Homo-oligomer: A and B are copies of this chain.
Amino acid sequence: MKKFIHDFHIIENKDLNPGHFVLTLKPEVNLPPIFPGQFAEVRIDGSTGTFLRRPLSFHDVDYDANTITLLVQRKGDGTNRLAVMKPGDTINMVYPLGNSFHIGSSGERALLVGGGCGVAPLLYLGKILAKNGIRVTTLMGARSEEYIMEPERYKGHGELLLTTEDGKAGTKGYVIHHEVWRERNFSFDRVYTCGPDPMMKAVARLAVRHQVPCEVSLEQTMACGVGACLCCVIETNEGNKCTCTDGPVFDPNDLKNWLE
């Protein structure tokens, strides 16, 4: 997949809740093909605390409008700087990077499990899966009602299930506590997950128990994003692999100590 370095203009910067916002961005050229699960390395100017680029997943890609969206969680200097950027501001991106989620065949049923900001790549994934005739169920785990982000967009291409820690919306607890995992309810051919490592590990173990393939999307810290620095490694059964080129999407069976 050919990689590019392009300037993008901010079209919209929308707060979803105090911790998260969505940026809509437009490049000056036509978007190249981007697959679900891929990410961009975003240059953040105007912040003394961000020397390196920041990896962010493609949340959505709209070829008609020639725009992409990023769903970003405020963490530190870089994401806080992005949070205050305004329409018209420019950011530079190296993209599309990494491998992508495997798209099953038409008629399959897929469960997409996202925790917190981990839902970011699952919107675009769900859309593409649906387009390929796959029945999509998104299971979203949020801290509280306020953190259920953009539910309508997920419902646009399938079913949306929810968990919140206090149970005010959806099932009470974490994503793994949702009734969808019960033997009699579970009717999926494949599981995709993105979120905190402990959540993904638990989801991966559930997928194993249900004997369906699973894919996880990792977030190792990165310096280059293109396979040059070897900073973003994850231990696999075949030795260290780069999350930025061999991943970010992995089969948890290949990852060391992931299913224990």
**A residues bordering B, Cβ < 8 Å?**
45-48, 51
Q: Which chain B positions have C-beta within 8 A of A47?
A: 46, 48
CA–CA, A48 and B45, complex, Å: 8
Bound Cα distance from A51 to B51, whole angstroms: 14
Minimum-distance CB pairs A-B, first 4: A46-B46, A48-B48, A46-B47, A48-B51
- When C-beta atoms are compared, the residue in chain B nearest to A81 turns out to be B46
Nearest to A50 among chain B residues (CB) is B48
Using CB atoms, name the residue of chain B closest to A48: B48
Q: What would be 6 A-B contacts, judged by CB atoms less than 8 Å apart? A: A45-B48, A46-B46, A46-B47, A47-B48, A48-B48, A48-B51
Residue with the greatest number of chain B CB neighbours at <10 A, chosen from A45, A46, A51: A46
Shortest distance in angstroms between A54's beta carbon and chain B's nearest beta carbon?
15
- CA A26 to CA B45, docked complex, whole Å: 27
Residues of B within 8 A of A48 (CB): 45, 47-48, 51
A84 nearest CB across to chain B (Å): 10
Question: Whole-angstrom distance between the alpha carbons of A101 and B189 in the complex?
Answer: 82
